[in-house]
Each structure stands twice: as structure tokens, then as C-alpha cells.
Structure 1
Amino acid sequence: MITPEQQAQLEKLMRHALSLAGHGPITGGNPQVGCVLVDATGQIVAEGWHHGAGTPHAEVDALAKLGAGDVDASELGGSATGTGVRHVAAGLTAVVTLEPCNHHGRTGPCAQALLDAGVSRVVYAVPDPGPDSGGGAERLRDGGVEVIAGIARAEAEEFLHSWLTATRLQRPHVTVKWASTLDGRAAAADGTSQWITGTAARQHVHEQRARADAIVVGTGTVLADDPSLTARGDAGELLEWQPQPVVLGRREIPADAQLRQHPEKLRQIDGSDLDAALSELFEAGIRRVFVEGGPTIASAFIAAGLADELLIYLAPKLLGGPQVALGELGVSTMAEAKDLSITELRPLGNDVLIVARPATETRA
């Protein structure tokens, strides 16, 4: 049992670990994780974070910074005992944003690395829901390490929302985006839609593209608009990270379509079964999907209950007419309305961004 003072100190350390986690890439399939190592007085003696797939995990990154002579991250994978890395962290507490992993992937299990390093206590925020990677806490307890779980869990859950959703559901986290006028129109009666929103909102969309593993549209959008689906900066330059373009539908994509010039390889999937499409993307390592098609594909994801988050860019314009932002959702009466919880309202120039999630969302 920890005292309120100890709880407050651990929460402060966990928030710092979360800030460290933010230095790591949000794309690439792995969670953003931070770790701090503290001594008996509560002073931080080392810290680290996960720098991306194939690199040392946050715990190992922190252990490697303890100044233990020739110790490096490759010796801290938990696969070898009896090496010079044992007890390098004797008596220290590890504060980690996610339960230390318990499996051999590209690196060894972090739970074993912490055991080998001799830590006396491990504090983490969120249990690892991975069917293969979970169970690190039990392994640590079996090894005689004190384990405290759930410190600043709500903050960590929000920080890891997309990765946790993907891991728990075993499909990519899906964000559905659209831009519309205040009266819910995505285009004028003649089909023109450029530009509903201003430059600030459009640049924000590019930033969101760069936070996704894949960007998804339907063949209708490709044939009608010939989009490039790249993530670009203010001056039109390509950003460092580019989402993989994914097109749902059977119609052939023209050889001269802009998507054929995308930096990442185009993937086309039969969109008649969205669950199957998402499963295929998950198996390919994609954890964050950004749906940016027209009303048909947006409505399909929402109607199927597969939209984990909505990004709605509202412009102070009125168009009227038939070109609505969403189509049929399978709702015939008010009692069947799909309730949402608004998580963010943000002005973007003269426009407003609304971020919402299904109100019925539950967390394991």
C-alpha cells in the first residue's frame, strides 16, 4: 500500500515518462513508451523511450544510460544472464508507461531485462493487452520484484488510445475524417468542393495523414478527384512520414493516377467486407488508419461500427442541396441515433475542428 504522498510522486514521474514517450514515432506499429529509473530518494538516474520498430524498448533504452561501463542496449535484451549487465540497476524503481513486455520479438522481453538488471520495483500505467506481449507484470512478481499497476492510467490510456484500440480489437484504429459546411454539405450542387475549409484546416489534415500508417479512400474518390494522398508541409513539400495509400473497391485505378506516384506502394482491397479489409491491414502491420474518402466510404465505416474516432472540419459556409457529408447509416429513428462524445473542439483559422468518439466506447 502506498501513501498519498508516494502516489503523487509516482504520478509526477509517470507524467514525465509519458512526455518521454512522445519523442518516439506514433506510426510503425509499435506503442510509444517512456521509462524513468529512480533511486530510493525518488531522484531520476536514467530515462529512455522507444525510438521505433527494431530499436531497444524504453526500459532497455533507460538501462543502457546508467553509465555501466561498456554496457549497451544489445546486452540488455533479457536473453542472456550471467553477463556484466546483471544488477546494473540494483535497488532502483522503473516507472514505465506500459506494462513491460513479456515476449521475444525483434528484441528480448523487457520484463526479463529489468529482472536481470536488478530493479527492486516496477511501476506502470496500463496493462499490455497484447496476446503475446502481455504478462510482464506476472513475470516480474514471480522474480521477486514489487509491481505497482495503474498509476496515472487514465492519462496513459488517452495517450495510447489508438495503439490500445488496435491491440485490443486486433484491427487497426480507424479515424474517419470529413470537411463540411455548417449545414452538413461536403460539396456544392455541381459537385465542386475545393475548398470548403481554409488553409489552416487543410494543413491540419496533412499533419493527421502523417500520423497514420495508412490512408484509405474508395475507388469513387480516386476516379472523381485523382487525389495524391500524400502528407505535405506548408510549402507543399513531402513530410518525412508518408501513409500507405489504400483504395477500397474493385474498379481499376488508371495507370496515370496520382496515387501511382505515391512514395509508398499502393494497396487495393475489395471493400465489400470492411472487417476483412481491416484484418488484412492489421496483418500487414498497420495500426492506424485514416479514412478520407467521400460520403459513401465514411458512412460505411460508421454504419459498421468501425469508426473509433471522427475528425469533422466545419467551415462557416452554407450550401444547401443534396451533397451531404454522410449518407445512409442504418438509422431510421431517433432512438437509433449514433451517440458521440466530443473530445476536442479546436479553432483552425476561420474553421472549427470537432473530434468525437462513439459514446458507447468502453475500455478493458
Structure 2
Amino acid sequence: MNDEFYMNLAIDEAWKYQFLTYPNPAVGCLILSKNGEILSCEAHQKAGMPHAELNAVISALQRLNPNLKAVFKTAKNANELYALALQNHANLLSGARAYVSLEPCSHHGKTPPCANLLKELGFAKVIIATKDVSEHAKGGEQVLNVAGISTQIGVCKDRADELLEPFWAWSNGNFSFFKIALTQNGVASGGIISNHASRTHTHAIRSLVSLLVIGGNTVRTDRPTLDTRLINGGKNPDVLIYSNETKFDTSIPLFSIKDRKVTISNSLEAAFERHFVMFEGGGNALSNLDKRVKWLLIYRSNEFKDAKNISLNLKIKIMHRAEFDDNELLWCKIIN
């Protein structure tokens, strides 16, 4: 196995939590023992929770010493877990190698610096896909080098940069994407299409976006709720209805969601002033999608429907595939 193989595993793990880490980046980390055995492959899962490196360290230590599971269970937050790792590692990871999709952070934010963790545990080498260029977090490679830890940067850099594209975009002002559910034969209408697991994933993303944009025709036809009822404690997003007509039947469920602001406008400019924006709709909305929206999420069901499928000229690059039971999610980039 080569470095690319291990780094791709770390990147694939991070894709499982793409968008769900907002406003943090999706990051993956794989740890090899000094003998070349895969000990763990973990990712950052949510803002405020342990970073990928800490998750991977905890998983690796527990594998090497199962008695540590009880110790780590006592941690109430990432800071406590970090401290317990430093107190109980017993040099089990001395000489190990870490593969990280983003340069380990060097600052103490909501969680402690990952570069320092790898340093204190005695890692021999850290392979990094791409550097962290943010002012507050960069510098992890230098911390490792000063401690005598070998580093290598650039393994699977293109894939890592693609994974990080949403993070850099929303950090710089706006990241917008379009979500659509399709049957196997390309039908996007006629009621529920994707399965429960896919819809739950959509609701988890909805709970994090700054704004949800939907076309007026879709609102009138589908009478959607656009809430986050499938996850516990999810925040329901504000909604922008893109429409030339301002009058809507306010008994449509989306208007009745508590603490939600609904705006009706024939302009999308307000959407691109928000940090993280989700566009939803069917074939017509996709055909008329604003050129500033470059990412496309396709939830594809395992069914065919006897209905009109969408028809348009569109070229995409499939960046990653994920499975939700018998459905598939395609993470795509529009390239024309």
C-alpha cells in the first residue's frame, strides 16, 4: 500500500460529514502503527466536537488498549478528551504515522491544537494532503517539524482541495449548492422520491444552512414544509421563495414553522449575501439555476417512476458517492 491509498481512505471518511461540520472544514485522519497496521480512520463530525486527529488518536489508543474505553467515556467534551489522551497514551503511538487531509491546526479554539497532540504522542511522520492557509489555524507543519517529526505535504492534494472547497467558500462569504432528488429514470416530481435515510441526511444539512431557496412554482405545487423534523433539535432554516408573484396560500406548511423568516423576492442577491445556502427544487429550477451555484447534490432512489423525467444540457463531475441504504448520493460539481 502507498501513501495515496491511506490518504484516500482518510478523505473518503471526511466526505461522510461534508457540510455537517459547518462552519468548520470536513477533515479525515488515518493512523498507521509503526508496523504499518491501520489502527483507525476517523473524521471531524461536527463543529465543537473533537477534530479528526483527536478522534483517530482515541480510536487507535482504544484498539491498542481496550481498557482505555472506560477512561475516555468519562470525558464531557473535546477538551477533556484531549487531556485524557495526553495523560493515558503510555507511548502506544510512538513511531506511528498519521495521514491527515488538512494540515493539523496549531491554535487553541473550541478544541486544543491537533499538531501539539501528534507531537506529544510521539508520531514519527505526518502526511498532509493540503496546507491550511487560514490565518488563525495554519502553522501545524512547523510545530511538528520543530519537534523533529517528519512531514510530507501534497499527497492527494487535488481531492483534499475539492473536499475543502465549501469551507473556503463560506469562510470567504458564501457557499451555495443545489439539492435534487431523482428516480433512476430521472423523475424529480410526483411526491416523495428519496428514502428515509436520504431525507434524514437532507434535514441534517438543512439544520445548518443560513438560508434555503426554493422556487415559487415548487411551493405552490408541492406545498412543502422544508423543516428538520427528522433530526432531534434541528434548527429550521429561513426560506427565500424566488418568485415574481408575491401572493401565496399561507396555509402551505412552510409558512407555519416557528422562528422562521420567509422572504418572497424576484431577486436572489440576498441569498449570496449569506454564508451557507441551500437551493432546492426540481428540473425547472435546475435548468434555470444561477451560474454562481456550482455544487449539486443528487439523491438518487432505487425506483423508476412513470412520469416525465427532467431534460436539460448539463455537464457535471462526480466528486464522491455515498450510500443511504438502497439510495445513493452523488456529490457533483457543475462544470459548464
Normalised TM-score (structure 2):
0.66
Deviation at 1:174, TM superposition (A): 0.8
2:141 is equivalent to residue 137 of structure 1: yes
Letter of the structure 2 residue corresponding to residue 50 of structure 1: H
Deviations 1:97-129 (A, max 9, x none): 322123333212212222233323211223345
What do the CA deviations read for 1:299-324 (whole angstroms, capped 9, x no partner)? Answer: 66x344224226498966559xxxx9
- The alpha-carbon deviation at position 84 of structure 1 amounts to 4.1
Q: Does structure 1 residue 306 correspond to structure 2 residue 293?
A: yes
Paired residue secondary structure (2:2): helix
Aligned pair 1:226/2:223, yes or no?
A: yes
Structure 1: gaps (5+ residues): 1-7, 187-192, 233-237, 327-337, 347-351
Quote the Cα distance in structure 2 between the aligned partners of 1:241 and 1:342. Answer: 34
Aligned partners of 2:213 and 2:241 also within 8 Å: no
Asked whether the 8 Å contact 2:218–2:281 carries over to 1, the reply is no
- 1:194 equivalent to 2:190? Answer yes
Structure 1 length as normaliser, TM-score?
0.62
**Counterpart residue identity of residue 122, structure 2:** G
Give the distance between the partners of 2:247 and 2:238, measured in 1 at CA: 13
| Partner of residue 178 from structure 2, selected from 175, 178, 182 | 175
Counterpart in the other structure of 2:236: 244
Q: Which residue of 2 aligns with 1:330?
A: none
Does residue 292 (structure 1) correspond to residue 289 (structure 2)? The answer is no
| Closer, same or farther: CA 143–269 of 1 in aligned 2, 3 Å | farther
| Counterpart code for 2:151 | V
Task: Sort the Cα spacing of 1:116 and 1:259 in 2 relative to 1 into closer, same or farther, 3 A.
Answer: same
Aligned to 1:217: 214
Residue type of the partner of 2:111? Answer: T
- SS class of match (2:126): strand
1:294-351 deviations in Å (ceiling 9; x for gaps): 84x6566x344224226498966559xxxx988xxxxxxxxxxx862353999xxxxx
Alpha-carbon RMSD: 4.7
Residues 199-252 of structure 1, C-alpha deviations (whole Å, 9 max, x = no match): 6557687366235334421455435542112468xxxxx356867343225947
Q: Is the 8 Å Cα contact of residues 60 and 110 (structure 1) preserved in structure 2? A: yes
1:38-76 CA distance string (max 9 Å, x none) = 233212345543242222112112333525976765356
Identity %: 25
Aligned to 1:53: 47
SS where residue 11 of structure 1 aligns?
helix
Instruction: Answer yes or no: is 1:38 the counterpart of 2:38.
Output: no
CA contact (8 A) 2:11 2:28 kept: yes
Matched residues in 1 for 2:57 and 2:331: separation? Answer: 38
Paired residues of 2:96 and 2:123 also in contact (CA < 8 A) = yes
Given the superposition, is the C-alpha separation of residues 216 and 275 from structure 1 closer, same or farther in structure 2, using an over 3 Å criterion? same
Could you list the per-position Cα deviations for residues 158-186 of structure 1 after superposition, in whole angstroms to 9, with x for gaps in the alignment? 5x266446457542241253769x9x998
SS at match of 1:61: helix
2:325 corresponds in structure 1 to: none
Number of the residue aligned with 2:272:
278
Cα distance between partner residues in 2 of 1:293 and 1:137: 45
Q: 1:98 to 1:355 in 2, by over 3 A?
A: closer
The structure-2 alpha-carbon separation of the partners of 1:185 and 1:339, relative to structure 1 and needing over 3 Å to count, comes to closer
Specify whether residues 170 and 87 from structure 1 end up closer, same or farther in structure 2 by C-alpha distance, changes over 3 A only: farther
Check conservation: 1:218, 1:247, Cα contact below 8 A.
no
- Letter in structure 1 aligned against 2:335: A
Equivalent runs, 1:52-71 vs 2, <5 Å: 52-65=46-59, 66=61, 67=65
1:108 and 2:112 are equivalent in the alignment: yes
Q: In the alignment, residue 178 of structure 2 is paired with which amino acid?
A: T
- Greater Cα shift, 249-258 or 125-134: 249-258
For 2:58 and 2:237, locate their aligned partners in 1 and report how far apart those are by CA, in whole Å. Answer: 37
Q: Distance in 1 between matches of 2:261 and 2:104?
A: 34
Q: Which residue number in structure 2 is paired with residue 357 of structure 1?
A: 333
2:319 maps to 1:340: no
State whether structure 2 residue 253 is matched by structure 1 residue 258: yes
